A and B are shown apart, each in its own frame.
Chain A
Amino acid sequence: VTIRRVLIANRGEIAVRVLRTCRRLGIESVLAASEADLHSTAAKLADWTVCIGPARSASSYLDVAAVMGAAVRSAADAIHPGYGFLSENAALARACREARIIFIGPTEEQLAAVGDKLEARRHALAAGLPVVPGGSVSTPDEAASLAHQIGWPVLIKAVGGGGGRGMKQVHDPSQLPAALELAMAEANTAFGDPRVYLERFVASGRHVEVQLLGDGSEVVHLWDRDCSIQRRYQKLVEEAPAPDLPPRLRSAMHAAAVAYGRRLHYRGAGTVEFLVDRAREEFYFLEMNARIQVEHPVTEAVTGLDLVAEQIAVAQGQQLRIRQEEVRISGHAVECRLNAEDSAHDFRPSPGTVTHALLPAGEGIRVDTHIEAGSAVPPYYDSLLAKIIAHGPDRAACLARLRAALVNCRIEGVHTNLALHSAIAASDEFATGGVDTGFLARFLRAQQSEVDREQGG
């Protein structure tokens, strides 16, 4: 099978990113766009644009029937779902199979396996991966004995929660019964499911993930990324490879990720996320993301691969074009997510129209974006404006390029978090490398108290 025409069922920078590879490979592109995005940069760059519904994503980018209709109508051989929206939706993968259209992603079964938290964890255990010690509990006695076994402090998590919602830390054994009761009541109200589980609470953790590529039988890893700089579980800065990671941990994580991918006979690009316990120097499986990730460019920078091209190759039935021993990494890369949010005012979203977009360029600098002067930043979708990616022969050189690149960046018309990125890039703690997921909250508090002091004096 050769893919000749791809429907891109996404928007923003990732739509432009996928378009670029399609063009390079001589594949025709059809952009599936909502009414709000009919004049977007992606729409201007695509060979064709088809409207899939109104601005609200529930009736456009999240509507399987609308996307399938557009694919059929445009006679596309394949759908690239990007990230977010329907990218990990088993119903879209199934509809594609039934319509004999290639879904550029894993199989329905693989999507279902990694999409359910408990199922994903079951596969991890079966593949021999370490998971955060814990288990489901429903009575105070069960909770107390489990907590005693796994060690304090503990975290109570709602089975139906996610993205940081439905979690409760418990540090004092005497407070466990009350916290459990409250957590179950809240889970029932918030998610319609009172089930909770108890986990060891990792006081200082890093978010490290391993990039996989599979063709349905063979699986290779493309090294790791560190995404510990997060605000409210949203990644802000990512880098490859993860800095200052004990070599024993790194190779064990690579092997664990490959074991997980092999167990699923994984096809496509995917990422296995791990929590690294800094104090214990251990790692635990968190989840697998069965799609291209926002932060994939840092992996591309250090491996020299085009992950979207590899996704397309395996989707059309080709075997992996790279063997594990051929994967080599060169240097270090960091990505900053520039968002339309006002970091000076509690990250308030800032939709509007971009009036001016001056972006960095030069050796070791890549910018993935869909914005230029005149671009609309609609209020309906996420706030990502651009990704600034710096690559250098080592981490220090990479950071030097990043700092200069951020200076050469100016976006007007909407508020952005550019100043925050410059501050992070200039900080000693980040320069040292290996910060934990609590870094950004501490950094913001320190910045705020500095502002307060200046205003006070």
Chain B
Amino acid sequence: VNLTQDDVQEILRLLDASPFDELQLETDRFKLTLRRATAGGWTQESRTLSAPRPLPAASAPGVSAASGPLAAGSPPSAQPASPAAPAHAAPAARSPPVGVVDVCTPIIGTFYRAPKPGAPPFVEVGSRVEADTVIGIVETMKLMNSVYAGARGEVVEICVADGQFVEQDQPLVRLRRADQ
């Protein structure tokens, strides 16, 4: 059993009255370090050492096959959906031809080609863009970040499908620059 917040407070009350400045506790389930802080009070650092225990696939834990409400098996919806596509495509290894530039995502996240589901995409192959044209959105931690073309030109390739996960600096679209 891991320590509760109340347990930690109890230990700290004992420590406060003691000459000790540090306490380390380690079991096979957790590791906790308490240190007296120079600014007053204490600091805590903890690591949970126990491993996750996946639910056995066949039947529920602690429920025998005879009495388990679902001994017959799991409904299909309980299975994790297999990802439709690889989690993320590797950034394009090939370097762009002369006069062509990659517009890359400044941030890791999910790429969206349109402002909302069902809406027309910001850009298509053949779209003419200015430096401040939005070419897509990258969603990170529930925040929508607009990605700008950064140069004047024409979209020659869409590198990432809508809804796909992108790594930082991964190319999203390619432009043929107008000033080349």
Cβ-defined contact, B141 with A49, below 8 A: no
**Identity of the chain A residue whose Cβ is nearest the Cβ of B40 in the assembled complex:** A404
Segment with Cβ contacts to A, from B47-55, B147-155, B171-179:
B47-55
Complex CA distance for A340 and B108, rounded to whole angstroms: 14
Q: How far is the CB of A37 from chain B (nearest CB, A)?
A: 10
B95 in the interface (beta carbon within 8 A): no
Q: Which residues of chain A in 54-70 are interfacial with respect to chain B, using CB atoms and an 8 Å cutoff? A: 54-56, 59-60, 65-66, 68-70
A113 in the interface (beta carbon within 8 A): no
Task: For the complex, count residues of B whose C-beta is within 8 A of A.
Answer: 55
Complex CA distance for A399 and B99, rounded to whole angstroms: 59
Main secondary structure of the interface of B (DSSP, over half): loop
Contacts of A52 in B (CB 8 A): 78, 80
Cβ-defined contact, B52 with A43, below 8 A: yes
Contacts of B109 in A (CB 8 A): 379
Cβ-defined contact, B107 with A48, below 8 A: no
Instruction: For B70, give its contact among A23, A38, A75, A349 (CB under 8 Å).
Output: A75
**Identity of the chain B residue whose Cβ is nearest the Cβ of A68 in the assembled complex:** B77
Q: Which residues of chain A in 12-51 are interfacial with respect to chain B, using CB atoms and an 8 Å cutoff? A: 20, 23-24, 28, 30, 35, 38-39, 41, 43-51
B9 in the interface (beta carbon within 8 A): yes
Cβ-defined contact, A73 with B42, below 8 A: no
Contacts of A46 in B (CB 8 A): 52-53
Cβ-defined contact, A362 with B41, below 8 A: yes
Cβ-defined contact, A72 with B70, below 8 A: yes
Instruction: For A59, give its contact among B53, B75, B81, B142 (CB under 8 Å).
Output: B81
Q: How far is the CB of A211 from chain B (nearest CB, A)?
A: 20
Greatest chain B CB density within 10 A among A30, A56, A379, A382 is at A379
Contacts of B110 in A (CB 8 A): 56, 379-380
Main secondary structure of the interface of A (DSSP, over half): mixed
Q: How far is the CB of B110 from chain A (nearest CB, A)?
A: 7
Segment with Cβ contacts to B, from A124-132, A140-148, A193-201, A367-375:
A367-375
Contacts of B50 in A (CB 8 A): 44-45
Q: Which residues of chain B in 9-61 are interfacial with respect to chain A, using CB atoms and an 8 Å cutoff? A: 9, 12-13, 16, 34, 37, 39-55, 60-61
Complex CA distance for A284 and B73, rounded to whole angstroms: 52
Cβ-defined contact, A340 with B141, below 8 A: yes
Segment with Cβ contacts to B, from A257-265, A326-334, A353-361, A440-448:
A353-361
Interface string of A150-183 (1 = CB under 8 A from B): 0000000000000000000000000000000000
Cβ-defined contact, A48 with B39, below 8 A: no
Q: Which residues of chain A in 371-398 are interfacial with respect to chain B, using CB atoms and an 8 Å cutoff? A: 372-374, 379-383
Cβ-defined contact, A72 with B41, below 8 A: no
Q: How far is the CB of B19 from chain A (nearest CB, A)?
A: 17
Tell me whether A379 and B45 are in contact in the complex, defined as CB-CB below 8 angstroms, given that A38-B52, A75-B63 are known contacts.
no
Complex CA distance for A380 and B55, rounded to whole angstroms: 24
Tell me whether A358 and B43 are in contact in the complex, defined as CB-CB below 8 angstroms, given that A49-B55, A351-B108, A366-B5 are known contacts.
yes
Complex CA distance for A53 and B45, rounded to whole angstroms: 31
Cβ-defined contact, B141 with A381, below 8 A: yes
Instruction: For A374, give its contact among B13, B39, B47, B74 (CB under 8 Å).
Output: B47
Instruction: For A50, give its contact among B4, B54, B107 (CB under 8 Å).
Output: B54
Greatest chain B CB density within 10 A among A23, A70, A341 is at A70
Instruction: For A73, give its contact among B47, B60, B83 (CB under 8 Å).
Output: B60
Cβ-defined contact, B83 with A361, below 8 A: no
Contacts of B47 in A (CB 8 A): 372-374
Complex CA distance for A24 and B142, rounded to whole angstroms: 33
Contacts of A341 in B (CB 8 A): 141
Cβ-defined contact, A361 with B80, below 8 A: no
Q: How far is the CB of A92 from chain B (nearest CB, A)?
A: 13
**Identity of the chain B residue whose Cβ is nearest the Cβ of A410 in the assembled complex:** B43
Cβ-defined contact, B53 with A48, below 8 A: yes
Q: Which residues of chain B in 87-109 are interfacial with respect to chain A, using CB atoms and an 8 Å cutoff? A: 87, 107-109
Cβ-defined contact, B140 with A405, below 8 A: no
B8 in the interface (beta carbon within 8 A): yes
Contacts of A360 in B (CB 8 A): 37, 41-44
Complex CA distance for A363 and B41, rounded to whole angstroms: 8
Contacts of A184 in B (CB 8 A): none
B1 in the interface (beta carbon within 8 A): yes
Contacts of B45 in A (CB 8 A): 357-359, 372-373
**Identity of the chain B residue whose Cβ is nearest the Cβ of A365 in the assembled complex:** B41
Contacts of B1 in A (CB 8 A): 23
Contacts of B108 in A (CB 8 A): 351, 379
B180 in the interface (beta carbon within 8 A): no
Cβ-defined contact, A44 with B70, below 8 A: no
A343 in the interface (beta carbon within 8 A): no
Complex CA distance for A372 and B34, rounded to whole angstroms: 14
**Identity of the chain A residue whose Cβ is nearest the Cβ of B51 in the assembled complex:** A44
Known: A360-B44, A379-B109. 10 other contacts (CB 8 A): A48-B54, A53-B80, A75-B68, A75-B69, A349-B140, A357-B45, A359-B44, A360-B41, A363-B16, A379-B141
| CB-defined A-B contacts under 8 Å, sample of 10 | A44-B49, A46-B53, A53-B81, A73-B70, A74-B61, A360-B42, A361-B8, A362-B12, A372-B48, A381-B142
List residues of B whose CB falls within 8 A of some A CB: 1-2, 4-5, 8-9, 12-13, 16, 34, 37, 39-55, 60-63, 68-70, 74-81, 83, 87, 107-110, 140-143, 163, 165
List residues of A whose CB falls within 8 A of some B CB: 20, 23-24, 28, 30, 35, 38-39, 41, 43-56, 59-60, 65-66, 68-70, 72-75, 340-341, 348-349, 351, 357-363, 365-367, 372-374, 379-383, 401, 404-405, 407-408
Closest 9 CB pairs of A and B: A69-B78, A69-B77, A75-B60, A43-B52, A349-B141, A362-B41, A361-B44, A73-B78, A65-B77
